[in-house]
Amino acid sequence: MNINKSLASSSLAEVIDRILDKGIVVDAFVRISLVGIELIAIEIRAVIASVETYLKYAEAVGLTSDPSLAAA
């Protein structure tokens, strides 16, 4: 009798490939205040994606510009 074992886990390469294909956005805001006075404010926004994925979504929301228009 032969028993096949199937693992549902993904390899690191598959996880990285999926992240680059779909993209991840990390958005964080940290504020440190003392007695109502803001001492430090840190805002972090990071986008992790492949160049192809970034350009596809940037074009969809109008973040890319046409280089031929800039030269005119």
Taking CA atoms, 12 is separated from 17, 19, 34, 45, 49, in Å, by 9, 11, 43, 24, 16
- pLDDT, one tens digit per residue, over 9-24 is 668 888 888 888 888 8
pTM: 0.43
At residue 47, the pLDDT reads 79
| pLDDT tens digit sequence for 3-61 | 665 555 668 888 888 888 888 888 898 999 998 888 999 998 887 888 888 788 777 77
